[in-house]
Amino acid sequence: MRTQMATEAGRATAPSEDRALVGPNLLAVLDGVTAKEENGCEHGVGWFADQLAAELLRFAHLGPAPALAEAIKQTRELHSGSCDLDHPDSPSATVGLVQIKDDVLRYLVLGDATVVVDTKRELHVVSDTSTNRTAGANAGDVEHALTGEIPLQDVKRVAILSDGAARAVDLFNLFDWPKALELMTANGPDDLIRKMRAVEKEDAKTVDWPRKKVSDDATVVYLER
């Protein structure tokens, strides 16, 4: 299997709040939810995403949902004594992850991250833009994640994208998902981000494609068998 990763901050003046995780049996993209100035936490979204990613890797031997639930619990413990984790704007992250174990590919999506699995029979595109649920201080939110599993022998390619990268397809319609995968197969996931940035630059006033952010943090993890 070959794994590639590409990430780029949405602005040169601010660090990315996306995180990519590539472990022995678990791949993930975490997209830190941009926090308001007053959010009850002294650490910040980037710190939260870093800790959550590290804890996910530590619990990668569990299934996707239990691993994320444990990662949330452990991250909460790291700053529960100094931060107000009941604050409605406490740091959180959307999560898209894939686990390969026992000849099965299992996926989980919480929030507007996107997991694309190309199989011998069909293309699975999994994202949830209808919910405000994210991985924050409450492990119970994992119950709202979209999950599934696919026999590994049927899988050809997998892509995990933050919403800032998925907008290349979902917002700008530069290509459909099959063509996006072909592009990443040929040129790597960084080419998808590069082409999207060119469109964002051309529409810097957000006239042709109305959006809240001119450019958003964009991250892709791509796996090809």
pLDDT number for residue 61: 94
pLDDT number for residue 125: 98
Query: What does the pLDDT look like over 160-214, one tens digit per residue?
Result: 999 999 999 999 999 999 999 999 999 999 999 999 999 999 999 999 999 999 9
What residues form DSSP beta bridges with 109? 96, 146
- Give the integer Cα–Cα distance in Å for 49 and 115: 18
Tokens (6 digits) for 32: 């830190």
Tokens (6 digits) for 169: 């397809």
User: Percentages helix, strand, coil for the chain, rounded to the nearest 5?
Assistant: 30, 30, 40
Tokens (6 digits) for 37: 């100035």
Query: What does the pLDDT look like over 103-144, one tens digit per residue?
Result: 999 999 999 999 999 999 999 999 998 778 999 989 999 999
- Give the integer Cα–Cα distance in Å for 32 and 9: 12
CA angle 97, 101, 103 (to 5 degrees): 120
> pTM value?
0.95
CA-based torsion, 130, 159, 218, 58: positive or negative: positive
219, with CB counted inside 10 A (0-12, 13-18, 19+), is buried
Where would I find the beta strands (DSSP E) of the chain? 2-8, 18-22, 26-32, 93-101, 104-110, 114-119, 123-127, 146-151, 155-161, 218-224
Query: What does the pLDDT look like over 45-67, one tens digit per residue?
Result: 899 999 999 999 999 999 999 99
Across the chain, mean pLDDT equals 94
Which stretches within 172-214 are classed as H helix?
177-187, 189-202
